[in-house]
Chain A
Amino acid sequence: MRIEARHLSWGVPGRTIVREVDLVVEPGQTVGLLGPNGSGKSSLLRCLAGLRSPTAGHVRYDGADIAGWPARTRARHVAFVEQTADTDSDLTVGEVVLLGRTAHGSPWRGPDATDRAVAAAALDRLDLAALADRPWKQLSGGERQRTHLARALAQRTWGLLLDEPTNHLDVRHQLELLELVATTRQTVVVALHDLTLAVRYCDRLVLLQHGVVVADGSAEQVLTPELLREVFEVDADVGRDDVGRLAVAYRGPAR
């Protein structure tokens, strides 16, 4: 599925948070959304997911403007994972993953055999099968994050919008999760803080500053020392690692 933002703006009264964003994500692409805190990554993702109505511009899935789409239709096209979605409720891992089937079943009955099989496959995929009956309150931060991603996969959508999915994960699970994301056939937009991981797993990078796209392209085009200095306020060397991949080495905060 092709995800498209045209002249997209969004804000709260008195403050524009996403400004005139033009972004096209081709089917199957994995796009990394970069930018410092407060640059509008989360807001842009929420607009792309249809959770916020743009104050100007459009969001299109495969060319169709999603404004006014029923929530159910939207949820069959894209799945969204928030940065921190916590709950007081004591659902088990398996029950949370089954929430991903909400838009598929009839609202009048519980999950059917298909829903259960899909949820089981998603649990398996995220290495959570053994934790299926564990209550939410007993999970570590990383397990919660993986549960949310399994829930999103259980939605079986062509689009995946992920806000900092590697937060709280240990290194191995960070790599596993991003590898999974990068190899799916789905169209993925993923907000990331870790530039090295972004270079390693994303087909394309988009750099945001104050809600504006300041760079969009390959790692070489986006992660230049000049842009890193301007947007992230860090001094960094950009070079190549042993396998020829772009590598960022920080010298320190920009002086």
Chain B
Amino acid sequence: MADPVALLDPAVEPVVAPSSADEPRDAGGRRVVVLLLCVLVLLVSLVIALRVGLGGGMGWAEIGRSVGTRFGLPVQPLPRLADSLIWDLRVPRVLLAALVGAALAVCGAALQSVTRNALADPYLLGVSSGASTGAVVVVLLGFAGSQLGMTGGAFLGALLSFALLMLLLRRRGLDSVRIVLTGVVVGQLFTAITSLVLMSSGDADSTRALTYWLLGSMAPARWQAVVLCAIACGVGLLVVWLHSAALDGFAFGVDTAASLGIDVRTVRMVLLVTTSLLTAVAVAAVGAIGFVGLIVPHGVRFLVGPLHRFLLPLSAVVGATFLVWTDALARVAFAPLEVPVGVFTALIGVPLFLLILRERGEL
């Protein structure tokens, strides 16, 4: 090793050979292996989920024919209706579940660091409710078919609820119980606004459709939403991941973060806007699905620890896998009746939420 005193002396440029033999061993290797394994599990899950709950006597052969046709494989095309069931409904649904799961899990991980609060999640903080309000308003204004319009409305709603949350928490700090209670207040407010808007201006049909969507359901997934979600997730996840070092630095609070060289205000703003966007895209596509952002990062920390350059990508992959399977469960648990997937994520999330509260001695 180079002279340890010189290494700490600001007068001397630290010179270390990159291939220095006694370089401390890097725990990164194990984490990369874990990440690759989880990617593999996700890919297998995506394929299996195509088959789960597929009706009409269809199986692997039909899935192969439908998907194969799209990739120009020499297979016999399916009849139009069957093909549509697989290619226009099932495939986008599974992909959308993966994208939304990834987005929500990464939002949760980022928010937990920025607010220094283990219970932060877009749903619990009321941001999903804000996004729902925005999307519903856009739909009732007559842009029902436009995924982009709904996403824009949801984005505005999410930003608005975030702004309200921050305003209410101003000067009060971000301790767990207070932030969750404030989030509940904001969420309730926006839920009430949504109901008011729905009741006052929606007809019976759109009210019923929107109410189902509000619970968080993958059923209306279409390709248009998949494409939009994929673009937003790609950009959003990259932006968040590029802030990994700053997210790590937030661990000891804003003063220590600032003293480490992190521009706290800017980073916070960029991340709140990015998580609002990701939440908005997810909500506009499939409604408000709760607790994914809470459950997944907590589980992932057990696997790879708290460093965000590992935590974030793995949360994305595990979140995707988690929602793909939860959605599959929602399809088959009470078949032929389909349960909104948000109901299942809540059933899994609530006990975990209580567990975290208890662990922190706040219950």
Contacts and interface: CB of A to CB of B under 8 A. Distances in A.
Interface string B248-274: 110111011011111110000000000
Interface stretch (B49-57, B194-202, B301-309, B340-348): B301-309
Residue of A79, A92, A95, A121 with most chain B CB atoms under a 10 A cut-off: A121
B33 interface: no
Interface string B1-40: 1101101111100111111100110001000000000000
B65 interface: no
Contact of A112 (B18, B116, B252): B18
B137 interface: no
B10 A116 contact: no
Contact of B256 (A72, A85, A154, A185): A85
A21 interface: no
B14 A117 contact: yes
A102 B261 contact: yes
Contacts of A90: 301, 305-306
Contacts of A89: 113, 251, 306
B2 A117 contact: yes
B242 interface: yes
Contacts of A112: 18
B8 A125 contact: yes
B1 A121 contact: yes
A87 interface: yes
Given A90-B301, A113-B23, A153 B8 contact: yes
Contacts of B4: 120-121, 124-125
B252 A121 contact: no
Given A107-B246, A114-B16, A82 B253 contact: yes
A43 B104 CA distance: 39
B8 A121 contact: yes
Contact of B262 (A50, A102, A124, A125): A102
Q: Which of A86, A88, A89, A96 has the most CB of B within 10 A?
A: A89
Interface residues of A, number: 54
A174 interface: no
B359 to A, nearest CB: 10
A214 to B, nearest CB: 26
A215 interface: no
A186 B306 contact: no
Interface in A122-158: 122, 124-125, 132, 153-158
Nearest to B246: A107
Contacts of A102: 245-246, 248-249, 260-262
Interface string B115-148: 0101000000000000000000000000000000
Contacts of A95: 248, 305-307
A114 B256 contact: no
Contact of A156 (B8, B15, B259, B309): B8
Interface in B277-305: 301, 305
Interface residues on B, range: 35 or more
Residue from the set B8, B263, B301 with the largest chain A CB neighbour count within 10 Å: B8
Question: In this complex, which of B7, B20, B259, B301 has the most chain A Cβ atoms within 10 angstroms of its Cβ?
Answer: B259
A122 B1 CA distance: 13
Interface centre among A80, A114, A117, A124 (most CB of B within 10 A): A117
A222 interface: no
B260 A103 contact: yes
Interface string B351-362: 000000000100
Contacts of B252: 82, 85-87, 99
A114 B23 CA distance: 9
A240 B262 CA distance: 46
Interface in B98-113: 113
Given A99-B249, A102-B249, A108-B242, A75 B261 contact: yes
A157 B11 CA distance: 9
B267 to A, nearest CB: 9
A129 to B, nearest CB: 10
A75 B259 contact: yes
Contacts of A99: 248-249, 251-252, 260
Interface string A170-200: 0000000000000001100000000000000
A90 B116 CA distance: 12
A91 interface: yes
Given A105-B245, A121-B1, A185-B11, A116 B261 contact: no
A72 B24 contact: no
A51 B309 CA distance: 26
Given A88-B360, A95-B306, A117-B2, 17 more contacts: A49-B259, A70-B263, A71-B261, A76-B261, A85-B252, A89-B251, A96-B251, A99-B251, A105-B245, A107-B242, A107-B243, A107-B246, A121-B2, A121-B8, A156-B9, A156-B10, A185-B11
Interface of B: 1-2, 4-5, 7-11, 14-20, 23-24, 28, 113, 116, 118, 242-243, 245-246, 248-249, 251-253, 255-256, 258-264, 301, 305-307, 309, 360
The 6 closest A-B pairs by CB, nearest first: A103-B261, A75-B261, A121-B4, A80-B259, A121-B7, A85-B252
